[in-house]
A and B are shown apart, each in its own frame.
Chain A
Amino acid sequence: MTDGQSAASPGMPEHAESPVWVKSERQRRREADLRGRARRSVSIATASTIVVVVALVAGITSSPGWPRVQETFLSPEAFVAALPDVLRGFLLNIKMFLIAEVFILVLGLLVAVVRGLRAPVFFPLRALAVLYTDVFRGVPTILLIYLVGFGIPALQLQGAPSDPVTLGIIALVLSYGAYVAEVFRAGIESVHPSQRAAARSLALTQGQTMRHVVLPQAVRRVVPPLLNDFVSLQKDTALVSVLGPLEALRQAQIHKDLDFNFTPYLAAALLFILLTVPMARFTDHLAARAARRRTGGGTA
């Protein structure tokens, strides 16, 4: 599907008497003025950026502790030494993120749909869904990781997972599933009631209405907020380090403990930024596109 662009350029019939546009002197002056303003804007932005950057650099490097910071946080040797291990650990972060994401989407959607079920048979399920979102949005993620990571193995259940990576993923899924369920629910509720009325008037059942009419529209609308939650999830995989798996933060910690140089932390931070920034930009892009669709173009 294309956007509103083509509708704005209808094939105007050329009549013999239709006026032909010759750019007027007034419009020429107006355009020259606009160009002048644009040039001025660029120069002001450049000057202002230079001033800010110089002030920041000067401020930081002139601080009394700067030589010490440079040595413990910005050591190129420590960076190079730690990077391979930190990078290897970071692959585990990405793996945890990718696995957790799939389960979070399924769990979130399931909980959101269950909360919308009206039939009395589903009352216990509905109550459970409400309880779940209330509880798991309230517990700090790191606390949940501790509780799941040490609590589940302590139960000594047959077949219960004991691998820290699996336990960490379970905790992340439980925590983020509650958030994502609320995002999906907001999306479902944003679909106008007239859409349900139209579907019901065609004799679609509640379930069919949800599946064919409400959810497809709801899911499209919540993609930007969902991606935002996933940017956050990418970082929070580092919290699983408290259970001990050798992910990026844990590897950085190990290297730090060798020589008390904190540069490996900086390496880990850089890797997280490298992953989250493109995702954040992509989210912005989607949000902007959705906004353009809603307003049908225009500059305001």
Chain B
Amino acid sequence: MSLLTIEGVWKHYHGLSVLRGIDLEVAPHEVVCLIGASGSGKSTLLRCVNLLETIDDGAIYLDDTEITDVRADADDVRRRIGMVFQAYNLFPHMTVLDNITLAPRKVHGVRPEKAEARARELLDRFGLADKAGEYPDRLSGGQQQRVAVIRAVATDPRLLLLDEVTSALDPTLVTEVLGVIRELKETGMTMILATHEMGFARDIADTVCFLEGGVLLESGPPEQIFSAPEHPRTRAFLQRVLEARRM
């Protein structure tokens, strides 16, 4: 039984099709990495799953209920899905602690002291215990993004969406964020990541999906996609990535 099912999803922007009939199944505890060039539709797909975008055809199911049904309660769907953005999107007027406890307190009805205890436990686990009272602009990019991940998992979501979470980071800060994601995988968190970090994708993914021009061209276990890709477009893309890294 799959946790998330994406069925023939289409999305158009101003007459341009950015998602062209995407099919994808995600099993519980599975980690799926979406790879592909910028503009291939990775981020749009994640935003559609979180209902931040409406789809133009197809359907998305979470726990076997259709979340793209127009009668579905979007807030109820989002209560079960966490999301981390490329630009962190922390709330600048709140401390780290308030950023993390806002949704547990206001949306999930957790008592403030319980929400705070849980937030401090997570901060401690990810090496940010001393930052609880800081405002986001006093933190490095890597620290901000780790806080954003904690904020997204503090409500114990069924599914975590990560949208190019290391793309805005200095290379030296990328590893600390990837470390957090690796640790989440160990706890059994189901995740979909859009990423440009091929090494990391190969390391952490159970399934890698290659998107190009809004089409899911190829998917499979990382060994297969990275070592023996079947589709010539996948080969060409990986070749370009490899060349770029040698530069």
Residue positions of A touching B, CB distance < 8 A: 1, 194-195, 197-205, 208, 212-213, 216-217, 220
From known contacts A194-B85, A194-B87, A208-B106, infer whether A201 and B52 are also in contact, taking CB-CB under 8 Å. Answer: yes
- The distance from the CB of A296 to the nearest CB of chain B, in whole angstroms, is 9
| Cα separation A203 to B75 with both chains bound (whole Å) | 5
B83 at the interface (CB under 8 A from A): yes
- Contacting residue for B91 out of A195, A200, A205, A220, CB 8 A: A195
Q: Which of B54-103 contact A (CB under 8 A)?
A: 75-76, 78-79, 81-83, 85, 87, 89-93, 102-103
Would you list 11 pairs from A and B whose C-beta atoms are within 8 A, ordered by A residue?
A1-B138, A194-B85, A198-B90, A200-B78, A201-B52, A202-B152, A203-B76, A203-B79, A204-B75, A213-B91, A217-B92
- The distance from the CB of B17 to the nearest CB of chain A, in whole angstroms, is 22
| Cα separation A202 to B155 with both chains bound (whole Å) | 8
* Closest B residue by C-beta to A3: B137
- The distance from the CB of A193 to the nearest CB of chain B, in whole angstroms, is 10
Which 6 residue pairs of A and B lie closest in terms of their CB atoms, listed nearest first? A198-B89, A202-B103, A203-B78, A201-B83, A203-B79, A203-B107
Question: Which of A203, A212, A213, A216 gathers most chain B CB within 10 Å?
Answer: A203
Q: Which residues of B contact A202 (CB under 8 A)?
A: 78, 82, 102-103, 107, 151-152, 155
Q: Is the CB of B89 within 8 A of A217?
A: no
Question: Which of A197, A202, A212, A217 gathers most chain B CB within 10 Å?
Answer: A202
Q: Which residues of A contact B81 (CB under 8 A)?
A: 201
Q: Which residues of B contact A201 (CB under 8 A)?
A: 50, 52, 78, 81-83, 85, 152
B135 at the interface (CB under 8 A from A): yes
Interface residue range, chain B: 20 to 34
From known contacts A217-B93, A220-B93, infer whether A198 and B85 are also in contact, taking CB-CB under 8 Å. Answer: yes
* Closest B residue by C-beta to A6: B138
- The distance from the CB of A251 to the nearest CB of chain B, in whole angstroms, is 45
Q: Is the CB of A1 within 8 A of B135?
A: yes
Q: Is the CB of B52 within 8 A of A204?
A: no
- The distance from the CB of B35 to the nearest CB of chain A, in whole angstroms, is 22
- The distance from the CB of A7 to the nearest CB of chain B, in whole angstroms, is 8
From known contacts A200-B52, A212-B106, infer whether A205 and B89 are also in contact, taking CB-CB under 8 Å. Answer: no
Q: Which residues of B contact A195 (CB under 8 A)?
A: 89, 91
| Cα separation A220 to B52 with both chains bound (whole Å) | 27
Q: Is the CB of B103 within 8 A of A197?
A: no
- The distance from the CB of A300 to the nearest CB of chain B, in whole angstroms, is 20
| Cα separation A199 to B107 with both chains bound (whole Å) | 11
* Closest B residue by C-beta to A293: B137
* Closest A residue by C-beta to B151: A202
Q: Is the CB of A212 within 8 A of B102?
A: yes
| Cα separation A1 to B135 with both chains bound (whole Å) | 8
Q: Which of B114-164 contact A (CB under 8 A)?
A: 135, 138, 151-152, 155
- The distance from the CB of B154 to the nearest CB of chain A, in whole angstroms, is 9
| Cα separation A202 to B50 with both chains bound (whole Å) | 10
* Closest A residue by C-beta to B134: A1
Q: Is the CB of A204 within 8 A of B91?
A: no
Question: Which of B50, B87, B91 gathers most chain A CB within 10 Å?
Answer: B91
Q: Is the CB of B93 within 8 A of A197?
A: no
- The distance from the CB of A199 to the nearest CB of chain B, in whole angstroms, is 8
Apart from A201-B52, A204-B102, A213-B91, list 6 A-B contacts with CB within 8 A. A200-B78, A202-B152, A204-B75, A204-B103, A208-B106, A212-B106
* Closest A residue by C-beta to B106: A208
Q: Which residues of B contact A1 (CB under 8 A)?
A: 135, 138
Q: Is the CB of A204 within 8 A of B107?
A: yes
| Cα separation A197 to B52 with both chains bound (whole Å) | 7
Q: Which residues of B contact A216 (CB under 8 A)?
A: 93
Q: Which residues of B contact A200 (CB under 8 A)?
A: 52, 78
| Cα separation A201 to B85 with both chains bound (whole Å) | 10
* Closest A residue by C-beta to B77: A203
Q: Which residues of A contact B152 (CB under 8 A)?
A: 201-202
| Cα separation A203 to B106 with both chains bound (whole Å) | 9
Q: Which residues of A contact B89 (CB under 8 A)?
A: 194-195, 197-198
* Closest B residue by C-beta to A219: B93
| Cα separation A199 to B93 with both chains bound (whole Å) | 13
* Closest B residue by C-beta to A220: B93
- Contacting residue for A208 out of B52, B76, B107, B138, CB 8 A: B107
